[in-house]
Amino acid sequence: MPVAFDEPVAGTSAFLPLAHRQLEMTARVVPTVALDNVPVSGLPALQAHLQQLVADAALPLDVKLLDHVELQLTEDNIPPLLPTLLPPLTQILKSTTQDPTPALSLTVKLLSPLSFTSTLAIADPPSLLTALRSTLPGANLLALAVIHKAAKAPSDAAILSTLPDVVEELVRCWLDTPDVGVGERAAKVLGDVLETDCEVVHGQGVTGVGSVNDVNGTEIVRRRLPGHARLWRLIFLRRPGLALIQSRCTPQAAADRPCRSMHAITISQGRLLRMLPRLAALDVRAVNQTAFPDLFPLPGAAVQDAGCGLLQWATLGMVDKSDVLMHLTLVDFFETLVSILRVSGRSPEQDHTVKSLLKAAVPDDAELETALRTLPDRTVEVEAEALRKYIAEMLL
């Protein structure tokens, strides 16, 4: 029986027999060490401090003590500490209204030697759902830390795809959470697991196999192995996944969901626009085509020029350009899109997608055209000329 993120905790001692049973599966994966031989200074003080925090969530976290213990943790001394430290840390993250970063950092370090499947033996899907739905950032971040382990290998991402409720709640958390830190982390987790799960492997990497490059704040990673695309199909090729994204980013209310404020909707729209360039670089076909055009209504001329899909709707039909901030977000999206797709192993389909989007968007948006044509002047000198030629080609 896994540790429930919403289970009340009376004290660490109440967790020990249960935690040992919960961690039996992980013991097969991570070598164990006798607890008496764990050379971690400050451990008794930390255990006492965690018990105090469990009893009174209002007590301030001893950041120095948590950092001191975390710095000493290794793959060798972590396993015997899991039953002692993980249950109270889980309860603290579930209940604290303070900045959860110090407790989360220690928890993530404790989980680091464990595989995704081993972690699921501790935090099962119902517990992850509870944590993702919590109004407390600490609980959200803990669930995201567990899910992020699925980005390690295509096989792990495939296992995550067998948990559709968790995937749905991850997408909802990404688009809905009012907490900026949780939203950014959810975007990182979702992007990384989709990166691992992507079955498309481009012939040219950005900077080589296994390397990472940052373009306009978006990471592009050259993957070593193709994925199985099961998460992609779950989110982008089936109606429920697409409908969830569309519903969070449109002001139209529906009978099956409460009306959301325009502020909340524009937050969701901004998060989608920031994610799409990375997704287009990974698998442009997954986001520029759809079997459900009714979800993504566009003017006839726009459909004729650009086609119909999540990408086209988000960039040509979703944003109210009279909202100055959202228009700036849209312009930033186009700048990021051309910057990323120029270096992400260009394909004819990617080039066609960019040209089609610009053909539909630029004639009605002089500010966008100006921003794109001046973008090379605002980038690093070594990239400027190549970017200028690419943008000119795309605007033909």
Would you say residue 104 has pLDDT above 80?
Answer: yes
C-alpha 342/C-alpha 161 separation (Å) is 31
Give yes or no for residue 20 having a pLDDT over 70: no
Q: What is the pLDDT of residue 216?
A: 54
Q: Is it the case that residue 68 has pLDDT exceeding 70?
A: yes
pLDDT of residue 325: 96
Q: What is the pLDDT of residue 11?
A: 31
State yes or no: pLDDT of 252 exceeds 70: no
At residue 24, the pLDDT reads 43
Per-residue confidence at 225, pLDDT binned at 50, 70, 90? Answer: confident
Q: pLDDT tens digits for 322-361? A: 999 999 999 999 999 999 999 988 899 999 999 999 999 9
* pLDDT tens by residue, 23-48: 444 444 433 444 445 579 999 999 99
Give burial (CB, 10 Å; 0-12/13-18/19+) of 342. Answer: buried
| Residue 376: pLDDT over 80 | yes
- pLDDT value at 143 more than 50: yes
Q: For residues 373 and 390, give the distance between their C-alpha atoms in angstroms, rounded to a whole number.
A: 10
* 50 vs 28 pLDDT, higher one: 50
The pLDDT, as a whole number, for residue 57 is: 86
- Is the Cα dihedral 47, 48, 54, 59 positive or negative? negative
pLDDT at position 268: 98
Query: What is the reported pLDDT for 102?
Result: 94
Between residues 336 and 122, the one the model is more confident about: 336
Tens of pLDDT along 82-92? Answer: 999 999 999 99
pLDDT of 202:
57
**Better-scored residue on pLDDT, 267 or 58:** 267
Confidence (pTM): 0.85
DSSP reduced 3-state for 321: coil
The strand pairing partners of 215, in sequence order, are 218
pLDDT of residue 303: 78
Whole-angstrom Cα distance, residue 2 to residue 117? 12
